[in-house]
Chain A
């Protein structure tokens, strides 16, 4: 059998259904002009006020009432006059210092629904530590936070050695956001930019009852800066063409990258009057979208061998810088042209003859192989100079390897020389590989490399320099794939060095 609930006149014009067992049952019958309707009573959102506060803390919050009609409009007032020196506006702005509050303070509010002319009563009890022993969050609830590139964590501070932190209300924080017991808030996911999040954090220690937190509400602005980094994959000398394959995993927060690739140089030939190896091609593209955590296949060309093998291509998904052809009598003539599948080819090696060249310079060529999703395409590149030959029977004694191209930018795109030429070859003292390109604004020249095999090898410089020809025949310079990310960085010239 149900209990009897009386109908009585509430404050204002509404009629309340009164349960004699409870005060303020909150169920209201009110006239809407044609009859009576039942409404839930308004209630004060308790979460906006702390349960526990130190006396040296201030209170600043906005009272929120909910629960009556959808079109209810509330105002707030003290029920028994100003209390504890706190200030309360009719809109619910409550502020003041807790220093004048009692150990157990009861704030008595009247909540007035102006739409229906109903007044509700709300009492809020707050425990105040007069000795200031409760933990309290000291981080400003309103200041902006600018996070370092790629960092998705920020640390909150609190007094009195808190032992436990909690997200009391996640509010608008990204899904998956957590806080550990050191106050480190880790965002579940981030997007580059500035965002405001509303949330409430709690902190506690043994001075508070179990499960009770000292809470602070935040409406805080966070700026997530773009991560900065770089990654370089390069082939090794002393290989027989082909490719090395790697997986590049996009780090957290990295959403776009700029990639440059240089194919490996072709090997020189051990034949009379043969060309040096051709230079590897170059390609680059900017603003290629990537997904953090996803793996991307990177292939790096290995230099062609002295026995005349082709340098390996260097590739990023959707783009390809071809390796240089081997030195030969005729060979391929992709100099400055677009090769098969849009690949970019480097300079070709020259037949060694008096004062003429050897290995081709790396990186010259025309690029049309940027990934479709990137923001860059169709740039010309320029690489190291070709190797040269001695004026003394150069066709017999061989030529230097071609200069490679530095991996940190395109020097000749602006000013300054491209990679230096290789040295002349001469008998056992064959020329070393040409010095790599200067790398433009940053400088990261390729390393010449030679003579480790005893009787001298005229190898191409890094990266992508063609091997020298004739006696000893040189290995092609290895290829490279360089990935950079971060704001204000792009190929061919802008902040492409290590940051």
Chain B
């Protein structure tokens, strides 16, 4: 076991974990500023290493969240941290994958529908259709199964005839050339 890469937990008189996780660096100081200790030394001092407790994970981006679960006691007296990888609620998924982008695109095209817009009636109508598609977009998505914002089929802005194959439809366009920036 690499004692420098795990967290620790304090044990009570019944060898049950109490308090929060203790970092390895803290244990170094607790064990008289030494790494020369093993499992038995830890247990004798009233602490237990928690295996799999130092995990790098990403939250806030995808359709799932990783959160700490319970701790499981091992036969040798150490503990193992359990992790829960769970789906986020549909409302949160919708907010993450769509809403900010969708509202952003609507905001950016507000000018096309004002009375003094320089656009022609035809262009205005195209933008109106585009904006309605944006408004209807949430109802076209199966929010129970979608896993990434890349699965959303975003409508193209009027005037963009041949988008690059790998272009991101939400990428801002140069107002002068219409090309993605």
The reply to whether A309 and B20 contact each other, CB–CB distance below 8 Å, is no
Task: Give me the interface of A with B, judged by CB distance under 8 Å.
Answer: 150-151, 227, 229, 231-233, 236, 238-241, 245-249, 251-252, 254, 267, 269-272, 295, 297-298, 305-309, 393, 396-397, 426-428, 453, 455, 471, 473, 475
Asked if B122 CB lies within 8 Å of chain A CBs, one says no
Residue picked from A298, A305, A307, A397, most chain B C-beta under 10 Å: A307
The reply to whether B100 and A270 contact each other, CB–CB distance below 8 Å, is yes
CB-CB nearest 10 A-B residue pairs? A240-B60, A305-B60, A251-B29, A247-B20, A427-B181, A270-B100, A247-B19, A238-B58, A240-B59, A295-B19
Min Cβ gap B175→A in Å is 8
Q: How many angstroms between the C-alpha atoms of A107 and B26 in the bound complex?
A: 57
Residues of B within 8 A of A236 (CB): 56
Residues of B within 8 A of A269 (CB): 100
Chain B residues 122 to 181 lying within 8 A of chain A, measured CB to CB, are 168, 171-172, 175, 180-181
The listed residue (A150, A233, A245, A307) touching B33 by CB distance below 8 A is A150
The reply to whether A271 and B26 contact each other, CB–CB distance below 8 Å, is no
Asked if B90 CB lies within 8 Å of chain A CBs, one says no
Q: How many angstroms between the C-alpha atoms of A231 and B23 in the bound complex?
A: 9
* Sampled A-B contacts (11; CB under 8 Å): A231-B29, A238-B57, A241-B60, A245-B21, A246-B23, A270-B104, A295-B10, A307-B100, A393-B175, A453-B61, A471-B172
The reply to whether A306 and B60 contact each other, CB–CB distance below 8 Å, is yes
Q: How many angstroms between the C-alpha atoms of A254 and B29 in the bound complex?
A: 10
Q: How many angstroms between the C-alpha atoms of A271 and B107 in the bound complex?
A: 9
Q: How many angstroms between the C-alpha atoms of A272 and B103 in the bound complex?
A: 9
Min Cβ gap B58→A in Å is 4
The listed residue (A150, A232, A295, A309) touching B60 by CB distance below 8 A is A309
The reply to whether A239 and B20 contact each other, CB–CB distance below 8 Å, is no
Does more than half of chain A's interface fall in helix, strand or loop, or is it mixed? loop
Question: Whose C-beta in chain A lies nearest to the C-beta of B59?
Answer: A240
The listed residue (B32, B103, B171) touching A428 by CB distance below 8 A is B171
Q: How many angstroms between the C-alpha atoms of A231 and B21 in the bound complex?
A: 14
Asked if B101 CB lies within 8 Å of chain A CBs, one says yes
Q: How many angstroms between the C-alpha atoms of A451 and B120 in the bound complex?
A: 40
Question: Whose C-beta in chain A lies nearest to the C-beta of B33?
Answer: A150
Residues of A within 8 A of B100 (CB): 269-271, 307-308, 473
Asked if B30 CB lies within 8 Å of chain A CBs, one says yes
Asked if B82 CB lies within 8 Å of chain A CBs, one says no
Asked if B25 CB lies within 8 Å of chain A CBs, one says yes
Min Cβ gap B66→A in Å is 10
Task: Contacts A150-B33, A428-B171, A471-B172 given; indicate if A297 touches B61 (C-beta within 8 A).
Answer: no
The reply to whether A233 and B23 contact each other, CB–CB distance below 8 Å, is yes
The reply to whether A307 and B22 contact each other, CB–CB distance below 8 Å, is no
Residues of B within 8 A of A245 (CB): 20-21
Min Cβ gap A459→B in Å is 12
Q: How many angstroms between the C-alpha atoms of A434 and B124 in the bound complex?
A: 41
Task: Contacts A231-B26, A245-B20, A247-B22 given; indicate if A272 touches B59 (C-beta within 8 A).
Answer: no
The reply to whether B30 and A475 contact each other, CB–CB distance below 8 Å, is no
The reply to whether A475 and B172 contact each other, CB–CB distance below 8 Å, is no
Residues of B within 8 A of A251 (CB): 26, 29-30, 33
Question: Whose C-beta in chain B lies nearest to the C-beta of A245?
Answer: B20
The reply to whether A238 and B10 contact each other, CB–CB distance below 8 Å, is no
Residues of B within 8 A of A475 (CB): 60
The reply to whether A307 and B26 contact each other, CB–CB distance below 8 Å, is no
Asked if B65 CB lies within 8 Å of chain A CBs, one says yes
Q: How many angstroms between the C-alpha atoms of A238 and B7 in the bound complex?
A: 21
Residues of A within 8 A of B58 (CB): 238-239
Chain B residues 4 to 61 lying within 8 A of chain A, measured CB to CB, are 7, 10, 19-23, 25-26, 29-30, 32-33, 56-61
The reply to whether A297 and B60 contact each other, CB–CB distance below 8 Å, is no
Residues of A within 8 A of B26 (CB): 231, 248-249, 251
**10 extra interface residue pairs, beta carbon distance < 8 Å, beyond A231-B26, A272-B104, A307-B100:** A231-B29, A239-B58, A246-B21, A248-B22, A267-B60, A270-B104, A271-B103, A393-B175, A426-B181, A428-B171
Residues of B within 8 A of A233 (CB): 23
Min Cβ gap B145→A in Å is 20
Q: How many angstroms between the C-alpha atoms of A455 and B33 in the bound complex?
A: 44
Q: How many angstroms between the C-alpha atoms of A426 and B172 in the bound complex?
A: 10
Asked if B2 CB lies within 8 Å of chain A CBs, one says no
Q: How many angstroms between the C-alpha atoms of A232 and B25 in the bound complex?
A: 9
Q: How many angstroms between the C-alpha atoms of A453 and B95 in the bound complex?
A: 18
Q: How many angstroms between the C-alpha atoms of A425 and B132 in the bound complex?
A: 30
Asked if B74 CB lies within 8 Å of chain A CBs, one says no
Asked if B73 CB lies within 8 Å of chain A CBs, one says no
Q: How many angstroms between the C-alpha atoms of A351 and B180 in the bound complex?
A: 23
Q: How many angstroms between the C-alpha atoms of A236 and B57 in the bound complex?
A: 9
Residues of A within 8 A of B23 (CB): 231, 233, 246, 248
The reply to whether B29 and A246 contact each other, CB–CB distance below 8 Å, is no
Min Cβ gap B28→A in Å is 9
Task: Contacts A231-B23, A246-B21, A455-B168 given; indicate if A270 touches B101 (C-beta within 8 A).
Answer: yes
The reply to whether B61 and A305 contact each other, CB–CB distance below 8 Å, is yes
Min Cβ gap B157→A in Å is 14
Min Cβ gap B75→A in Å is 25
The reply to whether A246 and B20 contact each other, CB–CB distance below 8 Å, is yes
Question: Whose C-beta in chain B lies nearest to the C-beta of A229?
Answer: B29
Residues of A within 8 A of B10 (CB): 247, 249, 295
Chain B residues 98 to 126 lying within 8 A of chain A, measured CB to CB, are 100-101, 103-104, 107-108
Q: How many angstroms between the C-alpha atoms of A428 and B173 in the bound complex?
A: 11
Q: How many angstroms between the C-alpha atoms of A151 and B104 in the bound complex?
A: 61
Residues of A within 8 A of B181 (CB): 397, 426-428
